[in-house]
Amino acid sequence: MFTMKKQLTKQQKASIRRRLQKGEANVCTKQHRENMFNIKSSVESDSFWG
């Protein structure tokens, strides 16, 4: 009975950790994509170079 409870908590912790990592990765890729879009749009417009 004891080992089952420990096992469940370990699995729950692992799933939570995994979810957090996935979330962070998604946020990073979203920011990266937005930054690339901003750079491309600013380079395409002539106002970037004056």
pLDDT digit string (tens) for 13-43? 777 677 666 666 677 778 888 888 888 877 7
Q: pLDDT at residue 2 above 60?
A: no
pLDDT of residue 6: 64
- pLDDT at residue 40, as a whole number: 80
- 39 vs 2, higher pLDDT: 39
pLDDT of 30: 80
Q: Are 16 and 23 in contact (CB under 8 A)?
A: no
Distance CA 9, CA 21 (A): 18
- Using pLDDT thresholds of 50, 70 and 90, give the confidence band for residue 46: low
